[in-house]
Structure 1
Amino acid sequence: MIPLVIGLALLGAFALMLRREPRRLANGVVLLFALLFTLLGMMDLDTDSVVGFATAMLIILSPLLVLVLAGLLMANGVQMVRREGRRVANLMSFGLGVALLAPYVLFVVAVISESVWFATVLASITLVVSYISFLLVAFLLYSFVYLRLPYERGMGAIVVHGSGLIGARVPPLLASRLDRALEVYRAEFAVGNHPLLVTSGGKGSDEAMAEADAMAGYLIDRGLPDTAILREDRSATTRENLLFSKDLLAACGVSRMVLVTSNFHTLRTAIFARRLGLDAQVVGSPTAFYYMPSAILREFVGILFEHKWVYFGVCLAMAAVPPLLVLAVAVIPGEQ
C-alpha cells in the first residue's frame, strides 16, 4: 500500500512539474520513480516479497538482458560504420556495447583470482553503471513523453534546425525536418495564422552552400513562398541555431516560436531553449531506425556534459562507497 501511495504522490508531482515547465530532464527522473513505485504498489506485495521479486529479477533477467543489449548495440555500431562512415560519433553504440560487458569480465577475474579488491572494483563499476543507466532510462522515457506533448498553435515563427548537407543536396535526415516544418506551417496557415519560417544553418567546410539556403530552396520547391522564409546562415551548433534565430526574429518583432528538429534531438533542444530564455516549444521529425541508437546516445552524453561536474561528482561518490566499506570492515576489530 505504501509504495502505491508514494507512486501516486510522485505522479501528482510530475503533473505539476510538467505543467510548470516541461523542458526539464528532472521531470523524467520523477516520472520514472513514480512508475516504479506505482508498479510495486499495484502488485500488492509485502516488503519481503518485493525484495525477493527484485532480487530474482536481478539474478535471472538482468545478466541476460544486458548481454542481449550489448550484442544489439555492437551490431548497430557495425551497421552505423558501414552506412555512415568510421567516425567517433558512429562508434558510440559499439563502444557502449563493449562497456556493458566490462562488469562480466571483471566478475570472471574476481572469481578466478579470489581477490577482494577485484570484487570491490566490480561493485564500484556496477554502482556507477546503474546510476548512469537509471538516468538513461529516465531520458528515454521522458523523451518519449515530450515528443507527444502538443505544441500551442499561434506561434509567430517556425525554426528548422540544419543537420548538414551532402555538397549542396539536402540529405534524408534534414529533408525529414523540413517536411515536418511544412506540416506545421500548413496546419497554422489552415487556421488563419501566417508564421515566418526560419531555415537555420551555416556553411560547413565540406558543404557547397549554407544549409539555410539549401533548406530554403527545398521548401520553395514544395510550394512555400519565398516571402515566408527567413535565412539564418551563420550557425554551426544547436546553441547558435537558437541564439541567431532569436536575434533574427527579434528584429521582426517575433518572440514565440516552435522549433523543428529530429525526434531524437527534441528534448535536448527544449532544454537548451529553456536555458537561453526562449519562448519556444519543440516538435520532432521521424528518423531512420538504424540511426536512432547512436543518435540517442549522443544526445544523452550531450545532456550529461552540460552538468558534467555534478554527474562526475555523483559517480565518484558512488564509486567510493565499496572501497570505503571494505576499509571500514578491515579496521573494525573482530569479536574476541
Structure 2
Amino acid sequence: MNPLLIPYLVAAGFFLLFLVSFLRDRRKLRNGFYLFFALVFLAVGVLFTVAAVSEDAAAILLFSVLALIPLTVLALGVFLICNGVTMLRREGRRPANLLSLAAGLGIIAFVPVNLIVEQIGWKPLEVFAMTVNALLFYVSFLFVCFLLYAIVYGRIRSRAGVDFVVVLGAGLLGGNRVPPLLAGRLDRGRLAFDAGRARGGDPVLVTSGGQGPDEDLPEAHAMADYLAGHGVPRDRILLEDRSRTTWENLVYSKEIMAEHRAGYRCVVVTNNYHVLRAALLARKAKVNGQVIGSRTAGYFWPSATIREFVAVLVEHRVFHLVVCGLIVLSTVLSQ
C-alpha cells in the first residue's frame, strides 16, 4: 500500500464513523470528535501529498500553519478581552459575563507565565506548570471539538414535517415583558410554524417557561401573548408553565406533546449559542425532535458559547475528572 494513502484512509474511517453516528442521531457530542479527527488526518494527508511533489513546498506549508497557530491564538485572546469588556458594559458584572474576559486574559498570560516559571527554575513549580498546561491542552481540545460540532449542527436543517414547535423560555423584562433575546426565539419559532403549515402540516406551538421569583407571570404566558400579537391563532398555542431549567423545559414539553399526539415529531427553538447543549439534553430526555437556533447579538455569542461549553463539562464531570486525574498523575510521575 502506498504510505501516502494511510492518512486519507484514516480520515475516511473517521468520516465514516461520523456519518454513521450522525445519521443514527445527530444529537451526539461524539460526532464532533469523529469530524475533528477526520479533518486532522485529511490535513496530514494533504501535507504528505505536497511533500511527495516538493519538500520545499511542504516545509513552507507546514511552517505557515505552525506560524499561524500562535498568531491566531494571540488574536483570539485580544478579541476575547475586548468582547469581555463589551459584555461588562452592556450586560453588567455578573460572573457569567466575565467568561470571555477571563479566557482572553488567560490566553494572553499563557506564554509570559511559562517563561517566568522557566526563568525561576524551581522544579516543583515547573512540574505544576506542566500539569496545568496538560490540563489546558485537554480542555482546549474538548472546546475545539465542541465548537466545531456546534457550528455544524446549528447549520443543518431538517425538512421533515413536525407536529409541534417548542420555544424555550428565557427571563422576562421587568417581570412581564418579552425581551429581545426571547423575542428572537419566538420569531424563529413562528417561522418554523408558518413553514410547517406551508408544507401542508398543522403544527402546534408550545411555549415553555415557568414563573421566576422576580416575574409577574409565567414566561410561557407572556410568550403566548407575544405570538398571538404577531398573528398566531390562540388555539394553535399550548402552554408549558412549570419549568425552571432547560431540562425541565424539555421534559415537561415532552409530556404535553405525548399527551396530545402519540408518535409526535417536534422542533425545539432556542438561541444559536444554546443549540448543541439543548440538543444533547433533548436526546437525554428522549424528546423526538431536533433543535434550531435564533440569532444572537454578536457581542453576546462568545461568552455565551463558553458558558454552554462549561455546562457540558459539568454535566459530564465524572468522566472529565477521571481523565484530568490521569493527566495529573501521568505528568507528575513522568518527572
TM-score by length of 1: 0.90
* Residue aligning to 1:187: 195
* Residue aligning to 2:163: 156
2:296 to 263, 287, 310: 287
Matches within 5 A, 1:195-214: 195-214=203-222
Q: Identity of counterpart residues, as a percentage?
A: 41
In structure 2, runs of 5+ residues without a counterpart are: none
C-alpha deviation, 1:249, in angstroms: 1.8
1:80 aligns with 2:87: yes
* Residue aligning to 2:23: 19
* Structure 1 segments (4+ residues) deviating >4 Å: 45-59
Question: Structure 1 counterpart of 2:326, which letter?
Answer: A
Question: Structure 2 counterpart of 1:297, which letter?
Answer: I
Go from structure 1 to structure 2 and tell me whether the alpha carbon gap of 1:52 and 1:123 turns closer, same or farther (over 3 Å shift). Answer: farther
Q: Which moved more, 1:46-55 or 1:281-290?
A: 46-55
2:186 to 153, 178, 181: 178
* Residue aligning to 1:115: 122
Cα deviations across residues 135-177 of structure 1 (Å, max 9, x unaligned)?
A: 1111111111111222243211110001111021111111111
Question: Structure 1 counterpart of 2:14, which letter?
Answer: L
* Residue aligning to 1:36: 40
CA distance in 2, matches of 1:52, 1:42: 12
CA distance in 1, matches of 2:56, 2:315: 40
Contact residue 40 and residue 50 of structure 1 kept, 8 A: no
C-alpha deviation, 1:74, in angstroms: 1.7
* Residue aligning to 1:333: none
Contact residue 82 and residue 101 of structure 2 kept, 8 A: yes
1:258 aligns with 2:258: no
* Residue aligning to 2:245: 237
1:99 to 77, 82, 106: 106
TM-score by length of 2: 0.91
C-alpha deviation, 1:228, in angstroms: 0.2
Contact residue 166 and residue 269 of structure 2 kept, 8 A: yes
Q: Which moved more, 1:9-18 or 1:27-36?
A: 9-18
CA distance in 1, matches of 2:267, 2:178: 21
Cα deviations across residues 264-288 of structure 1 (Å, max 9, x unaligned)?
A: 1111111101111111111111111
1:9 aligns with 2:13: yes
Q: What do you get for the CA RMSD once the two structures are aligned?
A: 2.3
Go from structure 1 to structure 2 and tell me whether the alpha carbon gap of 1:189 and 1:59 turns closer, same or farther (over 3 Å shift). Answer: closer
CA distance in 1, matches of 2:66, 2:286: 46
Go from structure 1 to structure 2 and tell me whether the alpha carbon gap of 1:95 and 1:51 turns closer, same or farther (over 3 Å shift). Answer: farther
Contact residue 29 and residue 138 of structure 1 kept, 8 A: yes
Cα deviations across residues 63-91 of structure 1 (Å, max 9, x unaligned)?
A: 43333222211221111111111101111
C-alpha deviation, 1:61, in angstroms: 3.9
Contact residue 151 and residue 282 of structure 1 kept, 8 A: no
- Aligned residue for 1:158, secondary structure, equals strand
Q: Which moved more, 1:311-320 or 1:164-173?
A: 311-320
C-alpha deviation, 1:217, in angstroms: 0.8
1:129 aligns with 2:136: yes
Contact residue 151 and residue 283 of structure 1 kept, 8 A: no
In structure 1, runs of 5+ residues without a counterpart are: 327-336
Number of aligned residues = 326
Question: Structure 1 counterpart of 2:296, which letter?
Answer: T
Go from structure 1 to structure 2 and tell me whether the alpha carbon gap of 1:257 and 1:226 turns closer, same or farther (over 3 Å shift). Answer: same
- Aligned residue for 2:18, secondary structure, equals helix
1:218 to 214, 226, 243: 226
Go from structure 1 to structure 2 and tell me whether the alpha carbon gap of 1:159 and 1:66 turns closer, same or farther (over 3 Å shift). Answer: same
Question: Structure 2 counterpart of 1:25, which letter?
Answer: L
C-alpha deviation, 1:190, in angstroms: 1.0
* Residue aligning to 2:276: 267
Contact residue 50 and residue 58 of structure 2 kept, 8 A: no
Question: Structure 2 counterpart of 1:130, which letter?
Answer: F
Contact residue 153 and residue 188 of structure 1 kept, 8 A: no
- Aligned residue for 1:29, secondary structure, equals helix
CA distance in 2, matches of 1:162, 1:87: 20
Q: Which moved more, 1:99-108 or 1:57-66?
A: 57-66
Go from structure 1 to structure 2 and tell me whether the alpha carbon gap of 1:266 and 1:166 turns closer, same or farther (over 3 Å shift). Answer: same
